[in-house]
Structure 1
Amino acid sequence: MPKITYVDHAGTARTVEGSVGATVMETALRNNVPGIDAECGGACACATCHVYVNEPWSDIVGTAEDMERDMLDFATDVRDNSRLCCQIRITPELDGLSVTTPARQG
C-alpha cells in the first residue's frame, strides 16, 4: 500500500498507509491526521482539506482542475503547490507522497 506523509505547519511528520483509489483526504481522516478538516466530506465544495504538495511530487500529482481552483479561492495562504487533498486520488505512483498542511484551514 502506498505511504503518504502529512507534515503539519510546525514540521511534525506523520506517515500512514493509503489505499489505491482512496483520496489523500480520505486517508487523512481514516488515520486522524490533524490539520485536515474536510467539512464537505470530499465533494470539492469547500477548502478545508487544503494542502501544499511538497517537492518533487507537484509534477507527479498534477495541477488542479477548474472547480478545485475555484474552491482554493476560499483557502488561506494559497501557493503554487496548493491542492485540495480530496481531489488527489492515490495511485501506486504516489507511494511516498508528502504534503504539508497550512497553519489553519480556510
Structure 2
Amino acid sequence: GVTLPNGLSLRTDRETRASITEAVNALEAGLMVAPIPWKLEAGWVDLTHADLKGIASAVAAHVQAGFAAERTVQAQIEAATDLSAFDVSAAFAAALSA
C-alpha cells in the first residue's frame, strides 16, 4: 500500500487499482458525480475528481517503483556468484529508495 501526503492510506492491489481507475473513468465520462464516497481501512472519505486523479497517480507511481526495484533485485540475484550472503530484503529496500 501507499500513504499519501495528506495521510490517506490506500491498498495498491489489483482490485483497488481497478476500482480507482473505474471511478476516475466514470467521473470523466459523466457517469458519476463527485464527491464520491470511498471506503478506506480507516473509514469513509468523500473524494473529488481531483482527489481520485491524484490518488490514481500516486498509486501508479508506487506500483511502478516497486516493479522497478524488483527488476533491479532480480538482476542482482542473477549476477551474483554467491547468494548465501545476499539479503533480498535489504537489496529491495535499497533499490526502492534509489
Q: Of the two, which has the highest radius of gyration? A: 2
Structure possessing the higher relative contact order (Cα contacts under 8 Å, 6 or more residues apart): 1
Tell me which protein shows more helix as a share of its residues.
2
TM-score of the alignment, normalized to the shorter chain, above 0.5:
no
What TM-score does the superposition give when structure 1 sets the normalisation length? 0.22
